[in-house]
Amino acid sequence: GAVVSQHPSWVICKSGTSVKIECRSLDFQATTMFWYRQFPKQSLMLMATSNEGSKATYEQGVEKDKFLINHASLTLSTLTVTSAHPEDSSFYICSATRQPYEAFFGQGTRLTVV
Amino acid sequence: GESVGLHLPTLSVQEGDNSIINCAYSNSASDYFIWYKQESGKGPQFIIDIRSNMDKRQGQRVTVLLNKTVKHLSLQIAATQPGDSAVYFCAENWNNDMRFGAGTRLTVKP
């Protein structure tokens, strides 16, 4: 099956700093990637849809200036949590879609802001 | 800090029994549905999918049933094993937009 690599798998950062999370599709081109956030014991919440070469589409309530998404190539999307605060601590997961419908998930990133 | 949210529904079954996990979806226009398994600290893993023109699909030890009338999806796991313990999510797809259901935690007792 297709592989999506997400890096880092976990990160601890100080409050006020920024953290970048990478999502790569290793063996296919993904025109669309999705970023999800997951709180403990809850479902995955779609944050934004990332389209190669264009601006990301953010879900209602997600601050685009807080969560910067860049989809510079067909195999790489990045999520940058800017000026992170403890309430941003969460599990972030990306997925990449191989047309028409197949979605493959990264391993997830556990972000802890102290 | 972390949000305080609803706890996931839980299902506890005896090893060897069959499990049925249910899911209600929201968009009647959704045309593709997937069940995922998520183990602690990992991303979701694909289990089985079904398109809206079908009402049943079988895999190895798993069966997905789709009832479009009531927007309901179920996952049946035959002869449940300890390795099946995880959180299971359904997802609906419409226009390349995937949304997840609430999830159910399955615990298999030996």
Q: How deeply is A18 buried, as exposed, middle or buried, from its count of CB atoms within 10 A (0-12, 13-18, 19+)? A: exposed
Mind telling me how many Å the CA of B24 is from chain A's nearest CA?
A: 13
Q: How many CA atoms lie within 13 A of A107 on its CB side?
A: 8
What is d(CA A77, CA B66) in angstroms, rounded to the nearest whole number? 33
Checking if the pLDDT of B74 tops 90, the result is yes
Which of A3-17, A98-112, B96-110 tops mean pLDDT?
A: A3-17
User: Which residue has better confidence, B96 or A62?
Assistant: A62
- Nearest by CB to B3, from A36, A39, A107: name it: A39
DSSP annotation of A87 reads G
Alpha-carbon distance of A31 to A35, in angstroms, equals 14
* Span A22-33, pLDDT tens digits: 999 998 888 789
Q: Is A11 on the interface with B (CB under 8 A)?
A: no
Q: Specify the pLDDT at position B2.
A: 31
**Which residues 11-50 of chain B have a CB within 8 Å of chain A?**
32, 34, 36, 41-46, 49
Report CA B102 to chain centroid distance, whole Å. Answer: 9
pLDDT, tens only, B12-65: 999 999 999 999 998 899 999 999 998 887 888 889 999 999 999 999 999 999
Chain B partners of A34 at a C-beta cutoff of 8 Å? 98
Residue B92 has pLDDT above 70, yes or no: yes
Pairwise CA distance, residues A33 & A24, whole Å: 9
